[in-house]
Chains A and B, each alone.
Chain A
C-alpha cells in the first residue's frame, strides 16, 4: 500500500478500536484533509470525534494538550511542519513539560502529525525539516517514518504512547509504496532498524533519505563497497546503541538527512558517536544535508538544494579514500 494509505489505516484502526481517539485539525473533516488522509472519517465517526477547526494553531495544539490530559487521545494535524514555529510555546512549554509540572506521573497521549519536506516547489515556508529542533526538548518524542511499513507501525505506536509525539510525514513519500502487513501492528518508538547489512560503511538516515541511501548503496556495491543502512525511525529518543554497534563493525559513519548539514540532527549523532566510540573510527564522521540556506522555490534550485544519491555516493567514496576526481 502507499505511505498515505498506511497512515490512514493506522488512524482508522485506532479510531475504531478506541472511542477516546479524536482528530483535531484544519480542513480534516468534510474536506478530508489537504492530503486526503482523513477523507471519510467525518462520516464514519461524526463531528464529535473529527473536529474541523478555525485557523488557530495555538488553540488546536492547546486543545490537543488539554483534551489529552482529561481522557482523550487526540491526533492533532498541523498542516505543514513549518507551522511548528507558531506552536513552539504550546509544544515546548506546555506539552513537553506537563508531566514534569504535575504532582503525579501523568499521561499525555497526544500525537501531532505534520506533512514536511522539500521537493514539492512549495517554497521556503512549506518545505522545512525541523525535527532537529526538538532534540533539545525533554519530554517529547519525535518520529519520522521512511516508508509505508514504518508509517503504519510507528503511527500506531505513537497513538498508543502516553507521551506527546511529533510525527513527521514527508510529502514526497505519500505516494510511495512498499509491502505493508494488513493487520494491526506497532513498531517500537526509540528503536532504529538496520534495513541493510554491510561491512565497509554505516549510513544513518531517516525519512525520505533512507530510500536515497539505498539507491546510493546499490551504486556503491558496484564498486565493491558494502554499506550498512540504519533507518533511525525515531529522532527523539534516538537509538544510539544500534548506531554504535554498527560503527564498531564498519568503522565509518555517514549521516544523511534533508535538514541542513549544519545544525541538523546529524550533529547530535556525530557528537554522541565521537564521544562513545571514537576508537573504532577509521575516518572522520561525515554528514550530508542541505546547504545552509532557506529552501528555494524554483525547481532547478530546489533540486540542487536537496541532497541526492550522487551526493551520498560521493561522500561515501571520500570516506573510503577513493579518489572521486
Chain B
C-alpha cells in the first residue's frame, strides 16, 4: 500500500485531529456530570499505551486484537498480527492472559524484504500482570508490572519462517487527573528477543522505550485521546548496539458498547526517526511509517 498523503501533511493532520478531539472533549465534558458515572477500568483506554488495570477478581474476557504496521522506505508494505486472547483475573492483584497469534504480510518492492502475500498462524503468547501500586480515592496513581513471553514461527516484520522468542517487560502506570474524566497513562518498555532464521543464523535484538498518553471521557462510555511513543532499537539484548530510534504519535478511541463489550482503536504515525549510519528522515528500517490497533473484547 502506498500512502497518498505526504508524511509532513500526515503529521499535521494527526496533530490537528488530536487538537479537535480534545476541543470536542472539553465541550462535551462540561455538559455532562461525571460524578454520576461508574469508575473506569483503565487498561485499554490509552491505545497502544497500556493502562494499569488488571480487571476484576473472577472476571474472564475474550479479546481479538489486531495490530497493523504500514509503510516502509519504498515499495508497498502492510503487515498485521492478531491476538486471539483469553484473560482472567485470579486474584485482586494478578491478571493472566494467553492466546494464539495470527499474522498477514503483504510486501512488494521493499528494499531488504522479500515480496510475499501470506496469512499464517504465527505463534503463541502469555502475559502476567501484577498490580504493584493501587489507586484509591486518596491516591490517583496506579502501577502494574507486566511480562509477556512470546514464541513466533513467522517473523513479525518480514513474514519469513523463523523461530523467535520475545520477552516483553513493561511498567504500566496511569493517573486519574480529574475524577471519572481525565486520565494520563505512561508505559516503560524493554523487549529483548532472539530469532533463529531458516538458514540457521541467530539474531539478537531489543526495543526499549516509553510512552505518554492522555484520555478524556467525553460521555460515560466513550474516551478519546492521544499518545506519543519514543522507541529505540538495538542489535543486542543488553542494549549495547544502538541502531536507531523513532517517535510515534496519534489519536486513540475507547468505546464501551455494553457493560461487557468494548472496543479500542488507535493510530500512530512516525513523526520523527533516525537510522544510525543512514542520513535519511524517519527510521523505516526498524519501525514502520504508520501503525494501527483495533481490539474487541467480551467479558463474561
Do A and B pair up? The answer is: no
